[in-house]
Amino acid sequence: RCRWRSLRRMRSLLLVPVLLLAACGSSDPCGMSPPPRQLPEGHVLLNPEAPEMRVVPPDSFDVRLETTRGAITVRIYREWAPMGVYRFYNLARNGYYDGSRFFRVLPGFVAQFGLSGIPEADQVWNALPMPDDPPRARNRAGTLAYAMAGADTRTTQLFFNYADNRALDEQGFAPIGRIVDGMGVLFMLHSGYGETPPQGRGPQFGCMLTHGNRYLS
């Protein structure tokens, strides 16, 4: 059983784009200096070709998310989206999502997460989009799917559906699993920031990518 820890916390195009806005009085667009390196050279999360990242997942498996609002158990089904599940399984079992945070919570629509919070790891995987899986399940309330911004753009970002989002079915979003325990936790996630810029006050993706959880904090 894989485990994510410390999770603190899309309408048509769900993959958050890179958007950098200059902060007053700072040469860094995110208003802070880059964080120190967190992973040593050769770490498994920096090497997508490592044997540890190429394990075939079981037909189904459970993942437990431990959030500041409670625990969520998700059951993942390989037959629903083989490519997506293959990546998710190997990232999760190697700790990529430990410390990941929900950064886009839109009540009635989705709760999105999927960056590790470690810039050097996020930049490696953000540069490795994977082929699409043909949808084999619907985006019903409680299902988990990858975010994307067009064909073959999925990387590591995922979202939970708050409701039955039929429009996402039509756009090709392929769920990889569903919540089997703890659905109520989703409704307790903080949603005060709204959309990402410029539509809302949420965090800038470019800053999350380069500064990680230090920026989100």
Chunked into runs of 10 residues, the chain (217 residues) has average pLDDT values of: 38 45 59 91 97 98 96 98 98 97 97 98 98 97 97 98 97 98 97 92 95 95
At 26 the pLDDT is 52
**DSSP assignments along 166-200, one per residue:** HHHHHTT--EEEEEEE-HHHHTTS--TT-SSTTTS
> What is the residue whose two structure tokens read 């500064």?
211
Count of residues for the chain?
A: 217
124: helix, strand or coil: helix
At 8 the pLDDT is 32
Q: How far is CA 19 from the centre of its chain?
A: 17
- Whole-structure pTM value: 0.89
- Helix 119-126 vs helix 205-216: crossing angle, to nearest 10: 150
The string of pLDDT tens digits covering residues 100-109 is 999 999 999 9
At 34 the pLDDT is 82
The string of pLDDT tens digits covering residues 4-44 is 443 333 343 455 544 444 444 456 889 898 889 999 999 99
At 93 the pLDDT is 97
